[in-house]
Amino acid sequence: MALVKYGGGIIQMSGSIAGSVHARNHYGNYVRARTKPINPQSALQTEVRSAFGFIADRWAQTLTANQRTAWNLYGASVAMKNHLGETTYMTGYNHYFRANTLIKRVYPSTLMVDDGPVIFELPAIDPTLAVTASEATQQLTITYDNTMDWANEDPAWIWFFQGQPQNAQRNYFNGPWRKIGQVVGIIGGGTVTPHVADAVYAISEGQKQVIYARITRKDGRCSEVFRAECSIDA
């Protein structure tokens, strides 16, 4: 991996060109060699691809023109951040995928969110998200705010993902991630915090554990990712 300092004409780069990948972390810009991912066709890969195929077909074949227009209007109205930190706008197709991929994977028989949102803003993230982890139990205990609006909707979800444990001195991490659980909103309140999840990646005392969460509202609006981390206990 090589660090890069850009001069006149180029301020920032993100993505692949030929055999090089340009990216940025907490320490600045860097370039690394591009590697071709392997394709083990694992059960998880098959599950995700099946969900993607289903949702793509549903967008093209099942949604009405008015429903697609509503999603596109939502996409054009909601500002997002790209990998360069710039404001950008996703398509309605992208937002439809964000809303429905996890629902399809976890609840295959649940109806998808086909109507586009009419509130043009992303759901709020949870600044209280916290996690502890134990080598002895191989479990993560995740604390969240169960008084937020999503927790009073049915259906609505908060989804949790475990990052691969890292050495304690590592300060930057961006995957791989695996889903470890979710909590469904309950009308009238009553979601239970903390949520205890079995670790997908084996964890050991002294390692650093990072998780992220995402909230999906009943109308299909999906929040940005938000994170928490901890040192793994014995």
Question: Which residue type sits at 75?
Answer: G
Distance between start and end Cα atoms, the chain: 34
Residue 89 lies in domain: 43-106
CATH of the domain at 221: 2.60.40
Give a yes or no: residue 68 inside a domain. Answer: yes
In tens digits, the chain (234 residues) has pLDDT values of 555 566 666 666 677 776 677 766 655 666 777 766 666 667 777 778 888 899 999 999 999 999 999 999 999 999 988 766 778 899 999 999 999 999 998 887 778 999 999 999 999 999 999 999 999 999 999 999 999 999 999 899 999 999 999 998 888 888 899 999 999 999 998 899 999 999 999 999 999 999 999 999 999 999 999 999 999 999
The total of structural domains in the chain comes to 3
Whether the CB-CB separation of 94 and 72 falls below 8 Å is answered with: no
Tell whether pTM > 0.85.
no
Determine contact, residues 158/183, Cβ cutoff 8 Å. yes
Give a yes or no: residue 205 inside a domain.
yes
Please give the backbone phi and psi of residue 22, each rounded to the nearest 5 degrees, phi first.
-100, 130
